[in-house]
A and B are shown apart, each in its own frame.
Chain A
Amino acid sequence: MSATIKFSLADSASRRDGTCATKTIRNEPFARQGEIGLSKCVAGGLFLILLLIGVTAQAAGHADWTESELTILRSLALSSLPPLPAAPSNRFADNPAAVELGRRLFFDRRLSSNGEVACASCHDPERDFQDGRSLAKGVGQANRRAMPLVGMAYSPWLFWDGRKDSQWAQALGPLENANEHNLSRGRCAKLILEHYKPEYSTVFGAPPDLSGVPENAGPLGDKRARRAWSGLDDTARDAVNRVFANAGKAIAAYERRIVWDESRFDAYVRSLGEQASARPENSLSTEEIAGLKLFIGKGHCVECHRGPMFTDLDFHNTGVPVRAGLPKDLGRLAGAERVVADEFNCLGRYSDARLEQCRELNFINKDNRRLLRAYKPPSLRNVAERPPYMHAGQFASLQAVIGHYNRAPAAPAGHSEIKPLHLKAAEIRQLKAFLKTLSGTIRSPAAAPSAFQSYPNVFDSHHKEPVGQ
């Protein structure tokens, strides 16, 4: 492609290469402050001195953000997050009875082969709806790290590889995954009607009769389950699928209301718009502000971790290493195939969306080598609260993550999009300090139900009011 390009933008093309020229551009505000005639190559020492000048100015209460930096800061603030988007494939998404049913299903450990695994097992409200493990643990051990569920109503793709295109379709995956809830689809549908028939009927209408469906029957289960599944007629399979999909829709109605509250960073951005006299003095420390400056500048973090969710919700190969002992992982390349083939996708018969409401799926980018080992950047909100990091928990700490981006090693497969940053130890500390300012409380509908009371670590003082009900 490059051979065909008839014009060149040397500046853009080289801006990620970490050269000294890049630094002079990035330090524009500092240079302007002192009118220092920077040569094209700035020594690291001088850079640090200039940084300190900037930091001193901020400590004195004079934020020295440029207009374009301020625009970026505002775009990152939680106040820029729009209201919950519609969920056209789930017409029960905003039905209060569905939210309540979904909440109960979410915490119900009976929905597993051993009676010990609920959605909340790996998506623990006390841990920001994740589990703190490198690899999720259900009935067995999964091949990926559990993702935090917060804010995922805004995401067009679910899972690290985006193999689902709605929260309700996502919720179905673990239920019949052998390493997670390990239910056959037939068993799952029967359990739901067994325990929640009145609630189900209230939301979805009269449930189908599943008495003719064997306990162990499903398209993804063991050999016996698959044989039993193919032995069912279309009507029976459709009845099971319908109950199964509806369970997902109820769970999604609950999950979509799991949202962030303001962090210290958000309060800081808000204070920037206020009179200097009304501004809280130290809402961010000089070190945190320096980290923020790196985040939106030299660190290039904001290119993918952008907007109020601190993610572009797309897929990127950043050269994250392979975790030994796991099956080959193609990332988005496989995820795109799977979501197109998924019978519960936006275009499938269990979706409530019209064709024109499925544009993400309709215009999906697949069959593209750039998708090999590309994964969705998670939101960085509350990131400091949930090590380990990456899709299989490859990095134990933020320090290790930033170190990876700083070195930018070659990708195990495909091509990494990142280039070395040449951050110094002090700058890595500043970035880390900034990331910690992104922590805030998480809000979710109501408290855990009685069915889940025996589960440890679910009740938490900071889960209080229902959201959006």
Chain B
Amino acid sequence: MNNLTLPHIALGMTLAMTIFPSWAMADDRISDKGLYRVRWQSQAPEVTTDLIHDWLLHVETVDRRPADNLAITISAHMPGHAHGLPTQPRATDYLGNGDYRIAGMKFQMSGVWWVRFDFWRKNRRDWVIFEVPVK
């Protein structure tokens, strides 16, 4: 295992994990009902002792226009494991151009996670699930 993938040390270390650099940004995914094209990007953790960090979620319509005014909820779990995230992340800011700040992301176990975003707009709901390997 090379240095790049050695778990970074921070709060409790037990929680320490680094998303593989190659996975730090996922390819676009089309949401379940085909309303949105979505991608996420993990922000580098701040230099603090904990590992709660932000994601940037980019949402556009399938015809490539920024999707604004979305209500977004976040959930995640590990397939085959009966637990979710230790935190409850929230979409805290709309940054314009279809970009939403997702704050409060934190994983407590390495392995494959499924991170799900639900989108609401005018009573229409759609969702997308990303597979995220956490090292």
Contacts and interface: CB of A to CB of B under 8 A. Distances in A.
A82 B86 contact: no
A67 B1 contact: yes
A417 interface: yes
Q: Is the interface of A mostly helix, strand, loop or mixed?
A: loop
A25 interface: no
Identify the interface centre among A310, A316, A416: most chain B CB within 10 Å of its CB: A316
A309 B1 contact: no
B65 to A, nearest CB: 24
Interface string B78-112: 11111111111110000000000001101011111
Nearest to A365: B88
Interface of B: 1, 5-7, 9-16, 32, 48-50, 52, 75, 77-90, 103-104, 106, 108-112, 114, 116, 127, 129, 131
B14 A16 contact: no
Contact of B84 (A155, A308, A309, A368): A368
A13 interface: yes
B15 A307 contact: yes
A41 interface: no
A12 B80 contact: yes
A202 to B, nearest CB: 28
A326 B86 CA distance: 27
Contacts, number: 131
Contacts of A154: 11-13
A275 interface: no
30 contacts: A1-B116, A4-B116, A4-B127, A5-B79, A12-B78, A15-B80, A68-B1, A71-B1, A82-B49, A154-B13, A155-B12, A156-B11, A303-B81, A303-B109, A303-B111, A306-B110, A309-B13, A310-B14, A312-B108, A313-B14, A314-B15, A359-B104, A363-B52, A364-B87, A364-B88, A365-B86, A365-B88, A366-B88, A370-B82, A416-B82
Interface residues of A, number: 51
Contact of A360 (B52, B85, B89): B52
Interface in A413-468: 415-417
